[in-house]
Amino acid sequence: MHVARQECCFFQKINEQYRFFEEIQVLPHPRWVMQYRRKSMKEFVSLYLEYLTKAIFFS
């Protein structure tokens, strides 16, 4: 299992128990995008903006 996936599962289990957040959304790390998915960077930027906008304005 990928490390990020393991961390995601860990944080989701803790959040289920203690309800720190309504939901936890996992996004790719920006450095990974720049190194391995640079051609798709616009799509990732759009994705980040979408989730940040939801987090800021709908929380």
pLDDT at 23 over 80: yes
- DSSP states of 28-40: --HHHHHHH-GGG
Residue 11 has pLDDT above 70, yes or no: yes
What is the maximal distance between C-alpha atoms in the chain?
39
pLDDT given at position 5: 74
Distance spanning both ends of the chain, measured CA to CA: 31
Give residue 22's pLDDT band: very low, low, confident or very high (50, 70, 90).
Answer: confident
The confidence score (pLDDT) of residue 7 equals 79
Q: Which residues contact 12 (CB under 8 A, 6 or more apart)?
A: 24
DSSP code at position 24:
-
Read off the amino acid at residue 18.
Y
Mean pLDDT of 6-26: 88
Structure tokens at 50: 């979408």
